[in-house]
Amino acid sequence: MKKNCIILGLLITSILQAQQLTTNTGTPVGDNQNSKTVGNNGPVLLEDIHLIEKLAAFDRERIPERVVHARGAGAMGEFVADADFSEVTSADFLSKAGKKTPVTVRFSTVVHQQGSPESYRDPRGFAVKFYTEQGNYDLVGNNLPVFFIRDAIKFPDMVHAFKPSPVTNGASDANRVFDFFANVPEGTHMLTWLFSDYGIPANYREMNGNGVHAFKWVNDKGEVTYVKYKWISKQGERNLTQEEADKIQSTQTEHATLDLYKAIQDKNFPKWDLYVQMLKKEDFDALDFNPVDVTKVWPESIAKSVKVGTMTLNQNPANYFQEVEQAAFSPGSLVPGIEPSEDKLLQGRLFSYFDTQRHRLGGNFQQIPVNASKNNVLTYNQNGYMSVRPQTGDVNYQPSASKPQVVDNKKFKYSQTILPSGTTITQGKIDKENNFKQAGELYRSFSKKDQDNLIKNLGNTLNSVRDKKTVAKMISYFYQADADYGKRLAAFVKMDRNELESLINAK
C-alpha cells in the first residue's frame, strides 16, 4: 500500500512538473497572477523578468497581415498521384501512381482584411503546399480560372482600387473599382465571373480551385509541355446568391472557416481531384488568344483535362497562427520538372510573393516549421533574424576544394527556351489581346437564372457608380463580349444607345 502511494505521488509530481509554466528560457514561473511590487500596495518593479517578458511578447504577437488574402483558413492532409507522369514532368511527386505527398492548404478571401465576412463577393484564394522529396512546391491559385489583369505592373494599382479609399477609409467603393476597370478592358472576362454567383462560393469545401497561370512541365529530356491546373471538389461546387450571402453575413463572419474546421473534426474529410490541361508551344500560333495570358481559359476543345491525383484534407491546425497565419506560399516555390511560363503576371508574382513573406515573417521564413522542407536542406544562405537551421564548419561558400557538394546535374537544370530569331527586348501589349470573346462565351454558357443574377449583381453595382462615362465604357466592354449581355446591362442602368455613344465619345 505504501509503495503504491509513493508511485502515485511520483506520478502526480511528474504530471505537475510537466504542466509547470515557464518563461521563454524555460525557467519555472512561481506566480503568474501577481506582479512583483514594493510591498503589497507599492509600485511594480522593473526586475520582474516574467512580467516584462510576458508584456513584451504580447506587444509583439501581431505580425503584418497580408496585403491581399489576409482573411484565411487552413488545414493539412495528403495528395495521392493517380499515375506516372514522368513522360511529361520530372517532378518526383508525380512519378508513380499511388505516391503520397503531405500538403498544407490555405483558403482565403482576397481583398478584405482579417476578420472580414467570408460572404463578401470576392475571389477566393486556393493555395496548396506540397512537401515533396525534392523540396516544397506551392500551387498558388484562386477559385476562379482567370484574373483581372495580365501584367504585374498593374497589380498594385488594381489592389489600391479595390481597397478602402485613402480619404474615407470606407469599404470597397464601386466608383474607384470601375474607374480603374473602365480603362482596363482585359478585366471583362474576370468581372463576368466575379459578378456571377461564382463570385461568392458557399464555403471552402464546395469550391473548385484553379492554378490560373500556365506553367511548364519539363521531362528528363528537357522537353516542355505547358499546363494549366484545376482542382475539382468531390463535395460538388455550390455558390451563393447575393441575397443568401447577405443573410449569412447578418449572423456570421467566419461561416466558411468554421464549416471547414467542423467537417474535418467530424472526419468528413474534404477531397479534391487535381486535373491538368496540356499544350505544346507549337500549338500556340493556331489559337486566337495567347495561352499564357492569365485573362483566358483553355477551352476543353483544344486541351482536354487529365486527372493527376486526389487531395484529402484530414487534419485541422493545432495552432492557427503557427500553421496557417505563418504559412507562406509563393508561385516561385518550384521543384525540378515544373517551371514558370512567360505569363507577365506570373513573372511579377515570382518576386512579389517571396518579398511579402520576407516583410511579414522575416528573411528566414522558410525555416518556420509549416514552411520548412521535409527533405534535407543544404544552403550557404546564412544568419539573419530567427535563423535556426544548423550551420557548422568553416566553409560557408561554394565552390570549395573541401566541400564539393554541388554537382553539375542536368536533371535539375532549368529548361532551355529558344527565342525567335531577331527577338528584341520590348515594353508593350501582348499579341492577340482578344479581351472580350471568352467573357461572352462565359455569359452564353450560364443558365437563364445565372444570367439574370449576373445582370442584377453587376447592374446594381454599376448603378452606384457616380461617373456615367465610366458606366458607359464598362457597358461597352460587356456589349463587345455579347450583345445581349450589354443590352441587358444598359437597360438595367437605364441608358439608351444614344446616351451610351454620347458618353463614350465625350472628351
- Catalytic annotation, residues: 69, 142
Q: Are 316 and 264 in contact (CB under 8 A)?
A: yes
DSSP per residue over 134-183, as a string?
A: TEEEEEEEESSSS-S-S-GGGHHHHHHHHSPPTTT--S--HHHHHHHHTT
| Ranges of H-type helices in 369-445 | 437-445
Q: Are 315 and 291 in contact (CB under 8 A)?
A: no
Nine-digit cell string for 110: 482576397
Give burial (CB, 10 Å; 0-12/13-18/19+) of 297.
buried
To 5 degrees, how large is the angle CA 461–CA 209–CA 66? Answer: 70
Q: How far is CA 469 from CA 5, 60, 175, 482, in A?
A: 87, 48, 11, 20
> Rounded to whole angstroms, how far apart are CA atoms 231 and 276?
9
Q: Are 103 and 129 in contact (CB under 8 A)?
A: yes
DSSP per residue over 450-484, as a string?
A: HHHHHHHHHHHHHHT-S-HHHHHHHHHHHHHH-HH
To 5 degrees, how large is the angle CA 320–CA 321–CA 324? Answer: 65
Q: Which residues pair with 218 in a beta bridge?
A: 224
> Rounded to whole angstroms, how far apart are CA atoms 309 and 294?
24
Q: How far is CA 47 from CA 20, 31, 43, 90, 446, in A?
A: 22, 14, 12, 59, 69
380 assigned to a ligand binding site = no
To 5 degrees, how large is the angle CA 27–CA 28–CA 29? Answer: 115
> Rounded to whole angstroms, how far apart are CA atoms 170 and 37?
46
CA atoms in the 13 A half-sphere facing the CB of 317: 21
| Ranges of H-type helices in 21-120 | 49-59
Give the 3-state secondary structure of residue 34: coil
Q: Is the peptide bond prior to 399 cis by the omega test (within 30 degrees of 0)?
A: yes
Query: Could you tell me which residues are annotated as the binding site?
Result: 353
